[in-house]
Amino acid sequence: MEPIIKLEDFRRTYRNGSLEVHAVRGVTLSIYPGEFVAIMGASGSGKSTMMNTVGCLDRPTSGKYVLDGVEIASLNRDELADLRNRKLGFVFQGFNLLSRTSALENVELPMLYSRPAVSARLQRDRALKALGLVGLADRADHFPNQLSGGQQQRVAIARALVNEPRVLLADEPTGNLDSRTSVEVMGVFQKLNEQGITIVMVTHELDIASFAKRKIVMRDGVVRTDETVAHRSNADEAIAVLEAEQKAVHLA
Amino acid sequence: MFAIFKTALRAIRRNILRSFLTMLGIIVGISAVIVGVSMGAGAKAEVDKQIASMGNNLLIIFSGNMSRGGVRGGFGMSPTLTDRDYETLRREVQGLAGISPEVRTSAQVAAGNQNTQVSIWGVSADYADIRSWKFQSGDNFTELDVQAANKVCLLGKTTATALFGEGIDPVGQIVRIKNVPFTVVGWLAAKGANAFGSDQDDCILMPYTSAMKRLSGDTKFRAFNVQFASAEVLTEVTNQIAAILRQNHQITPDREDDFSIRSQQEMSDFANASNRIMTLLIGAFAGISLVVGGIGIMNIMLVSVTERTREIGIRLAVGARARDVLRQFLTEAVLLSVVGGALGIGTGYWLAPLLTKFAGFPTLISNSSVILAFSVSAIIGVVFGFFPALKAANLDPIEALRYE
Ligand SMILES: Nc1ncnc2c1ncn2[C@@H]1O[C@H](COP(=O)(O)OP(=O)(O)O)[C@@H](O)[C@H]1O
Ligand SMILES: [Mg+2]
């Protein structure tokens, strides 16, 4: 099987005047369809920098990045935008929803830029379906400020899914969520992954990483360890445990 | 496209006061365009009406060369048109409907114990017809009166009122001009102001012979008023007149004419020239307001781009191309300016009649000025919205997403 994401000696150097920051210094790595990868590492270890290139928001300073068989370095701005639109879905730490815009319209957003154009009716149908997938069909006309953090993040996930991407990229998706909602979001991720979507997720929480299938640890811009998650957590079970604990607290 | 429009409308509505203030420059500019164009059109319509009131198919041959001494320079020179010219033109030009010499003098006129300073026109019996003068009462003087230089005259409405009182028929009365008694034989109907703003009714018409011999002592004419038979013969008649006068005045081909032939069209153009200056001034004012308005839009769009940097980042991340972002912000700028333009057109519509009512300016709003104003406002949106939109489109997605 061909890898969907393939990095070969990927390097990214930021230049601020005379100062050079080697954010990522030589990463070689392949991710195959159906994987659920957690990328861990201390702050400043280059995780986001790598995710930006993987997400086609940025380009390598040197080295190769091949997404679904397409070499990224040779593409122009519009072609990268097109790839982001068709093959990638983003979930951010800060949700990044458009305020004063309903959940439904937020989810429709990527389809505004799809080519060929998607009819308004189809946009609506697909957005509602994506919201259903994350369990928010009944919140379609709510605005972000009327939703909880977990719900906002699920709207963001629906937005990431609506164009049926090959890969879901999430940079610290639970960073702004409490532990219970974090586990719920991981539940959504596991469900999507079971349906065949490849997920690459950055996190610095070990228990969140344990919901993934594969764990990569970075330090100072290089990969330190890359291993299969030994004792994988199941979100449904974790929620059951949390609920039992909560009940116990109430009883006590 | 609809989504872009909806987003733009939402962005404008979100800051409704700010949007309105931004539009103010455009509103002022566009209403100035509407009012200015309507004043120009209104003034032109007025001039055309006045020129038409001079009569139909009219040529005026002035003494002196107007193109040499400036447009009106000919009036200052000693007259060059003679009795002989008059006779020759009358005899030889084909296609004439009427011709009248013109001499003018100004004199104190008295009737009873009233007196007034009036401009006196010495003309032929054709003149009243040529200039479409109607008679309130009485009748024109005759060819015989001209030949005999009889002491008869026609009174304009204003002059008649000054001498005899409002609405009193002066026909049959005596007026004393420079102490010479003249019998009033006709009372002219009112014409109003001419294209240059002077009162056409403040006058006395009399046989040119009487004016020259008994009042001014002039021997030459300042002008001929000519009516030609139909529009088709205008060029023909003009050429014949020019040829005859050049021959009579012995003007060799290398010398300039000592007369000028003006058609009604040329006179209306001349009268409109002053209106054009006014239109130009208002146009300049409108232009400045529009540029200021455009800069206002550019400014607010730059603010909007900065405020919405993160939104732009999100759009870019989900696959918007640079041109999608460009189009969105351009749409917003154009919407701002076009809504401003529409409000400006509304204001102009409201202002123009007020101007007529309170300042007496004739105004005429035309569809073409509305279309012009609308297009201008759209163009301003595009021109001044382009730079901010380009700035938005060229944002780096990562930096835009990280923007706080
Ligand atoms: N735009 C930038 N300009 C300069 N340096 C940057 C920029 N973005 C990130 N860096 C630097 O690159 C390194 C890696 O950053 P990042 O990829 O954000 O780390 P992580 O996401 O793992 O915390 C850090 O030292 C950071 O300061
Ligand atoms: Mg980071």
* Rounded alpha-carbon distances, angstroms, from residue A157 to A48, A243, B115, B222, B385: 18, 24, 98, 93, 34
Query: Quick one: average pLDDT of B121-130?
Result: 93
Q: Output the pLDDT for position B383.
A: 96
Choice between A117 and A252, residue whose per-residue pLDDT is larger: A117
Choice between B2 and B230, residue whose per-residue pLDDT is larger: B230
Indicate if the pLDDT at residue A76 is higher than 80: yes
What residue's CA is closest to ligand 1, atom 3? A14
pLDDT class for B68, splitting at 50, 70, 90?
low
Q: Output the pLDDT for position B72.
A: 45
pLDDT digits (tens, 9 = 90+) for B8-59: 888 888 888 999 999 998 999 999 888 888 888 888 888 877 777 777 788 8
Count of the separate structural domains present in chain A: 1
The CATH number linked to A219 is 3.40.50.300
Q: Which two tokens stand for residue B299?
A: 């400014």
Rounded distance between C-alpha atoms, residue A4 and residue B136, angstroms: 101
Domain membership of residue A64 as a residue range: 5-251
Q: Output the pLDDT for position A96.
A: 95
Backbone angles phi, psi at A168, to 5 degrees: -105, 120
Rounded distance between C-alpha atoms, residue A140 and residue A154, angstroms: 12
Rounded distance between C-alpha atoms, residue A21 and residue A13, angstroms: 6
Report the DSSP pairing between strands B152-155 and B180-188: parallel
Round the average pLDDT of chain A to a whole number and report it.
Answer: 94
Q: Which two tokens stand for residue A152?
A: 């906002």
Backbone angles phi, psi at B163, to 5 degrees: -90, -35
pLDDT digits (tens, 9 = 90+) for B259-317: 888 888 777 777 777 777 877 888 888 889 899 999 999 999 999 999 999 999 999 99
Ligand nearest to the CA of A13: 1
Residue matched to tokens 């990044």: A96
Q: Output the pLDDT for position B58.
A: 87
ipTM of the complex: 0.95
Choice between A51 and B70, residue whose per-residue pLDDT is larger: A51
pLDDT digits (tens, 9 = 90+) for B74-119: 455 678 899 999 999 999 998 888 999 999 999 999 998 888 999 9
Catalogue the E-assigned strands of B147-240.
152-155, 174-177, 180-188, 203-207, 223-228
Least CB–CB distance from A57: residue in B310, B317, B322: B317
C-beta of A20 in contact with ligand 1 (< 6 A)? no
How many angstroms does the Cα of residue A171 sit away from the middle of ligand 2? 7
What residue's CA is closest to ligand 1, atom 6? A14
DSSP annotation of B81 reads B
Q: How far from chain centre, in Å, is Cα A240? A: 25
Give the three-class secondary structure for B51.
helix
Could you give the percent of chain A with pLDDT greater than 90? 88
Q: Output the pLDDT for position B126.
A: 92
Q: Output the pLDDT for position B77.
A: 61
Min Cα–Cα distance to chain B from A226, Å: 27
Indicate if the pLDDT at residue A71 is higher than 90: yes
Query: Quick one: average pLDDT of A213-239?
Result: 94
